[in-house]
Amino acid sequence: MAGLFLMPEFAATDNSEATLSQWVVPVGEAFRASDTIVVVETAKAAVDVEADSDGVLLKTLVAEGAEVRVGDPIALLGAVGESVEDMDLVIAELGVVDGVVGTAPPAAADPPATPAPENSSRPAVPVPAGGKRRFASPLARRLAGAAGLELEDLVGTGPDGRIVRSDVELAKKQREQLAEPSASPTAGSFTEAVAPGPSSVTTNRYTEVPHTRLRRAIARRLTESVQTAPHFRVNGRATVDRLLALRAEINAATDVKVSVNDLVVKAVAHAHLAVPAMNVVWTADSVRTFAAVDVAVAVATDNGLLTPVLRGVDGKSVAAIGVATRDLAARARTGRLQQQELEGGTVCVTNLGMYGTHSFDAIINPPQSSILAVGAATSEPVVVDGAVVVASVLHLTVSVDHRPVDGATAAEWMRALVNVLENPLALLVERQEKGRQ
């Protein structure tokens, strides 16, 4: 019997809306359970929405590129071999008004889409009247996201005003032309220049760039974390000359290069195994303790910070961690992460050592219960056997949610982390029951 296919709710995102990026299954085609029916984009990732059971896609209710609220109908599905003579009637009987939910307004209401000549000085970033939603091809959407352009700010020259690849490339070119330095304004004047970015405003006093969806999502999550999770912090420092020497030996002996951060991620997994009370998250009714150690790694992108999760770090080799981390980081920067890759984990590692930062505090990414802030390894005087020597010292700060974790537990964990960083051969020993990955 025909039924509605609803926009699912996505964990790890606060947005009540998502963008329907691409229909994978054509109308009228059958699919099997676990087949991807549609691709949906949240503020942080692309999500493959899979079928719960076998069926057929009878009719789509939402066009590609439309913003849809969670829980709204997006398609009419039927059983395998089922056909419906009057689909509009069935859809109406199921409670869908006008047969369409969440799509953009009719293209006729949009301003005429007239391609601008390449030498035109007209900005390619007019805002549609009333903030209307825009159609765009999946490729154009990805290119616009990579370029920091908002679809709402682009002029579409495709069918019915659809935004296509050439529109994004033209907008990028014109933005570069318009952002070129012009003559300095007369002293005392207040001259507004053309925006260097989509819907931006630049004056001789400031530049204002509107928030992206990702930046809004990050702001909501971190505000929620500070307001709901009582943070406390534990500081530690590790002498890492042996760790740096081990890294050099590994990189000299293998084709896979590992970073200091890869070794720290592995060390975090060892510390979690040594102190299982840190491998937890707080829920409304209980403290949940995990058997395996999943570690999130902070990745800076042009659009904001993302924290993809490495699964089963306790059972991975250092080399495997390095390969997986670089893959996640590369896809994070190009907007190709899947939603499930941003979910889970009990701890996150964020490293600013490459910027020369000595030490810093970080905000927990809920529902994780801790985040480790890693600074640069710097040469400092330390006491060894009663004598002062110069050693490479790594400064560490772990921010912890005090609801599931007590101070003594965090201190014990920091001691375990420092111990494994200072005795790094333990990082090459994997859990036997996990096997090599």
Catalytic: 211?
A: no
pLDDT in tens, 384-415: 889 999 999 999 999 999 999 999 999 999 99
Q: Which helix (H) or strand (E) holds 323?
A: helix 318-333
Class of domain 3-99: mainly beta
Going through 62-203 in order, the beta strands assigned E by DSSP cover 67-69, 73-78, 201-202
Domain positions in the chain: 3-99, 107-210, 215-428
Question: Whole-model pTM above 0.85?
Answer: no
Judge contact between 128 and 107, C-beta under 8 A. no
In this predicted structure, the answer to whether residue 14 has a pLDDT above a threshold of 70 is: no
Question: Three-state DSSP class for 50?
Answer: strand
Angstrom distance (rounded) from CA 105 to CA 6: 20
Angstrom distance (rounded) from CA 108 to CA 90: 28
Q: Which helix (H) or strand (E) holds 166?
A: helix 165-178
Length of the chain: 437
Q: DSSP class of residue 285?
A: S
Judge contact between 338 and 48, C-beta under 8 A. yes
pLDDT in tens, 291-311: 999 999 999 988 788 999 999
Q: Which two tokens stand for residue 385?
A: 């056997």
Judge contact between 164 and 140, C-beta under 8 A. yes
| Bond prior to 367 in cis (omega within 30° of 0) | yes
- Amino acid 160: pLDDT: 59
- Amino acid 138: pLDDT: 65
Angstrom distance (rounded) from CA 207 to CA 194: 11
pLDDT in tens, 343-352: 899 999 999 9
In this predicted structure, the answer to whether residue 34 has a pLDDT above a threshold of 80 is: yes
- Amino acid 429: pLDDT: 76
- Amino acid 114: pLDDT: 40
In this predicted structure, the answer to whether residue 156 has a pLDDT above a threshold of 80 is: no
Q: Which two tokens stand for residue 412?
A: 């014990």
The residue assigned the tokens 């965090």 is 410
State whether CATH 3.30.559.10 applies to domain 215-428: yes
